């Protein structure tokens, strides 16, 4: 479900999507070309992406800063080398010893190899380059994590590429 601004809001059930469309509160943005919803005397498009007609303000839940959520945010890949086949840990980009904080933008997933190489140094000092820009996850994080498989047709609205 997209907001009027096309921003992804949540995943809703088909039933809810149909109710919103029938009440003229939402429009279908992407429909399933191969399926139709049939009633006794009517046939409706099968909605895949819907958009609310009125903009709604939603205070988004904050994602709890935890080891598990940092790993999830980084798709269980080392932020320095991209590997996911060796044990992963959480790295303080600016080391704690140098005043680095426990914040979303200072924590990144790192493989044990890169983490050992880096030690108590900054990435520059250790000549390591971050492949990703660690940021605070937004509500799209919840959407990505609330379903096992993202419908390919949702991707353009979720700004994800994996
Ligand atoms: Zn690594």
The predicted-structure confidence for 136-149, as pLDDT tens digits, reads as follows 987 777 777 767 67
Residue at 5 is within a domain: no
Rounded to the nearest angstrom, the distance between the alpha carbon of 93 and the centre of ligand 1 is 13
Residue at 1 is within a domain: no
Q: Are residues 68 and 121 in the same domain?
A: yes
Residue length of the chain: 162
Rounded to the nearest angstrom, the distance between the alpha carbon of 52 and the centre of ligand 1 is 42
Give the chain's mean pLDDT. Answer: 90
Mean pLDDT, rounded, for 103-123: 96
Rounded to the nearest angstrom, the distance between the alpha carbon of 2 and the centre of ligand 1 is 36
Q: Are residues 79 and 120 in the same domain?
A: yes
Does pLDDT of 159 surpass 70?
Answer: no
Distance CA 109, CA 24 (A): 44
Task: Give the residue from 6, 8, 4 showing the smallest Cα distance to 139.
Answer: 8
The distance from CA 3 to its chain's CA centroid, rounded to whole angstroms, is: 16
Residue at 133 is within a domain: yes
In this prediction, residue 162 carries a pLDDT of 42
How many domains in the chain?
2
Q: Are residues 20 and 31 in the same domain?
A: yes
Q: Count the alpha carbons within 13 Å of 63 in the hemisphere toward its beta carbon.
A: 23
- Who has greater pLDDT, 95 or 9? 95
Q: Are residues 49 and 81 in the same domain?
A: no
Residue at 69 is within a domain: yes
Rounded to the nearest angstrom, the distance between the alpha carbon of 130 and the centre of ligand 1 is 10
Q: Are residues 45 and 74 in the same domain?
A: no
Rounded to the nearest angstrom, the distance between the alpha carbon of 81 and the centre of ligand 1 is 4
Task: Give the residue from 2, 9, 57, 54 showing the smallest Cα distance to 28.
Answer: 2
Task: Give the residue from 78, 60, 152 showing the smallest Cα distance to 160.
Answer: 152
Note whether 2 and 8 are within 8 A (CB).
yes
Does pLDDT of 17 surpass 80?
Answer: yes
Rounded to the nearest angstrom, the distance between the alpha carbon of 78 and the centre of ligand 1 is 5
Residue at 35 is within a domain: yes
Q: Are residues 66 and 131 in the same domain?
A: yes
Q: Print the domain residue range for 152.
A: 14-60+147-158
Distance CA 64, CA 36 (A): 40
160 pLDDT tier (thresholds 50, 70, 90): low
Residue at 9 is within a domain: no
Rounded to the nearest angstrom, the distance between the alpha carbon of 85 and the centre of ligand 1 is 10
Cβ atoms within 10 Å of 138's Cβ, excluding its own:
14
Mean pLDDT, rounded, for 70-76: 92
In this prediction, residue 32 carries a pLDDT of 96
Mean pLDDT, rounded, for 1-30: 93
Task: Give the residue from 156, 161, 146, 162 showing the smallest Cα distance to 7.
Answer: 156
């Amino acid at each position: 479900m997209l907001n009027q601004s096309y921003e992804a809001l949540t995943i809703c059930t088909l039933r809810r999507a149909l109710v919103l469309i029938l009440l003229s509160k939402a429009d279908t943005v992407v429909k399933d070309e191969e399926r139709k919803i049939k009633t006794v005397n009517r046939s409706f498009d099968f909605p895949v992406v819907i958009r609310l007609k009125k903009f709604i303000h939603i205070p988004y839940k904050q994602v709890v800063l935890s080891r598990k959520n940092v790993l999830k945010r980084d798709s269980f890949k080392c932020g320095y080398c991209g590997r996911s086949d060796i044990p992963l840990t959480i790295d303080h980009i600016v080391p704690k010893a140098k005043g680095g904080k426990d914040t979303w933008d200072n924590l990144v997933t790192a493989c044990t190899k890169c983490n050992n190489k880096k030690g108590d140094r900054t990435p520059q000092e250790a000549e390591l380059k971050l492949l990703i820009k660690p940021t605070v996850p937004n509500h799209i994080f919840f959407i990505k994590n609330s379903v096992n498989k993202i419908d390919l047709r949702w991707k353009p609205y979720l700004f994800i590429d994996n």
